[in-house]
């Protein structure tokens, strides 16, 4: 300690008075560390609810003194390549590679050598760490909620089960597990796109075939909105005539009347978990499954005693 304490103080004070701050670009040039992260995503604004993916990343990054670049590729591989190059040119420290719905993705080569966590998607065989919602458990929760209310028969699924939609397949697995254990089963599936319009049409047509569902599991809240509408038009009540449970727990779930029971898709938590992993906190295992909590509301009741009276 060769410098006089007094001098030390004066220097520090001067720095403070001049509002000195280290130039992170210059520092980065030497250390190759920029304290920036990038969120590379297919599409985040298009799906309103995926905005929480950005927000969660933002929060977690800021809490650790990192700034976040946000990129959107619109699933355009060429654009994605360009954006990744741009990020690389700026020496981003680490990458979040995200999808707005859970699916398998192809990670661009240029990112393979970077610090990288997959967010709401996975790349099988790549060994890359990924953070995804626990959809199997979510399926179990939805089915269990109906069982708890006394439902055994007439439980229908509304939605589409395309192979690349991981959520659908895993949820069904969870449901069948729990229903099977209770000696019950799904009565069938009403095919519908994951939107209110489609659900209104398809589920309406289904009702008009004089089918009498006692409970309905919708693949998301928007589908449930269409189901509510189809029921309302026909004078059927929720949950008096039909119980409804869905997935996502978006704003809609609270806005619908009666309020919709829904298994939450915790986008924000997915993102914060991914950032923690990315920054080397916590277990570096390969696949992290984030729980999807059930939000029980008024849309589930005991099954109607008889079917005949409709």
Partner DNA sequence: TTGAAAGCGCTACCAC
Partner DNA sequence: GTGGTAGCGCTTTCAA
Please state the closest distance from residue 28 (CB atom) to DNA, in A.
8
Q: How wide is the angle at C-alpha 117 spanned by C-alphas 194 and 67, nearest 5°?
A: 100
Picked from DNA, a second copy, none, the partner binding residue 2 (CB below 5 to 8 A depending on kind) is DNA
CB 262 within 8 A of CB 140: no
Locate 212 and state its tokens. 């009498």
For DNA, the binding residues (CB under 7 A) are 1-3, 21-23, 26-27, 29-31
For a second copy, the binding residues (CB under 8 A) are 21-26, 28-29, 34, 36, 44-46, 48-52, 54-56, 58-59, 62, 65, 67-72, 79, 83, 85-91, 195-197, 200, 222, 225-226, 229, 232-233, 251, 254-255, 257, 268
Strands 261-264 and 294-295: antiparallel
Sequence-separated (6 or more) residues with CB below 8 Å from residue 250: 49, 220, 221, 222, 262
Picked from DNA, a second copy, none, the partner binding residue 251 (CB below 5 to 8 A depending on kind) is a second copy
Locate 270 and state its tokens. 């997915």
Please state the closest distance from residue 306 (CB atom) to a second copy, in A.
26
Please state the closest distance from residue 82 (CB atom) to DNA, in A.
17
| Residue in 33, 89, 41, 87 with CA at minimum distance from that of residue 64 | 33
Separation between Cα atoms, residue 163 and residue 177, nearest integer Å: 19
Picked from DNA, a second copy, none, the partner binding residue 222 (CB below 5 to 8 A depending on kind) is a second copy
Please state the closest distance from residue 7 (CB atom) to a second copy, in A.
26
Picked from DNA, a second copy, none, the partner binding residue 212 (CB below 5 to 8 A depending on kind) is none
Picked from DNA, a second copy, none, the partner binding residue 31 (CB below 5 to 8 A depending on kind) is DNA
If the CB atoms of residues 69 and 307 are measured against a second copy, the closer one turns out to be 69
Picked from a second copy, DNA, none, the partner binding residue 55 (CB below 5 to 8 A depending on kind) is a second copy
Write phi, then psi, for 57 (nearest 5 degrees).
Answer: -60, -45
Radius of gyration from C-alpha coordinates of the chain? 25
CB 185 within 8 A of CB 215: no
If the CB atoms of residues 226 and 239 are measured against a second copy, the closer one turns out to be 226
């Amino acid at each position: 300690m060769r410098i006089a304490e007094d001098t030390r103080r004066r220097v520090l004070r001067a720095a403070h008075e001049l509002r000195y701050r280290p130039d992170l670009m210059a520092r980065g040039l030497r250390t190759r560390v920029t304290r920036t992260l990038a969120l590379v995503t297919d599409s985040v604004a298009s799906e309103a609810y995926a905005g929480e993916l950005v927000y969660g990343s933002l929060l977690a990054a800021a809490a650790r003194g990192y700034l976040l670049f946000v990129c959107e590729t619109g699933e355009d591989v060429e654009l994605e390549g360009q954006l990744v190059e741009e990020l690389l040119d700026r020496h981003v420290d680490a990458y979040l590679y995200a999808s707005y719905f859970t699916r398998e993705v192809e990670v661009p080569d240029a990112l393979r050598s970077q610090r990288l966590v997959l967010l709401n998607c996975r790349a099988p065989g790549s060994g890359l760490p990924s953070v995804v919602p626990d959809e199997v458990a979510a399926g179990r929760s939805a089915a269990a909620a109906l069982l708890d209310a006394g439902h055994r028969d007439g439980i229908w699924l509304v939605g589409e089960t395309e192979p690349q939609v991981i959520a659908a397949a895993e949820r069904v697995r969870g449901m069948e597990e729990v229903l099977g254990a209770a000696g019950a089963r799904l009565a069938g599936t009403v095919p519908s796109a994951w939107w209110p319009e489609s659900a209104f049409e398809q589920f309406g047509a289904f009702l008009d075939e004089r089918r009498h569902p006692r409970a309905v599991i919708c693949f998301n809240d928007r589908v449930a909105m269409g189901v509510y509408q189809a029921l309302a038009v026909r004078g059927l009540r929720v949950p008096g005539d039909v119980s409804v449970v869905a997935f996502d727990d978006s704003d809609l779930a609270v806005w619908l009347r009666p309020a919709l029971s829904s298994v939450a898709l915790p986008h924000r938590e997915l993102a914060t978990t991914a950032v923690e992993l990315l920054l080397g906190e916590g277990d570096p295992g390969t696949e992290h499954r984030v729980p999807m909590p059930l939000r029980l509301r008024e849309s589930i009741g005991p099954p109607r005693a008889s079917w005949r009276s409709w």
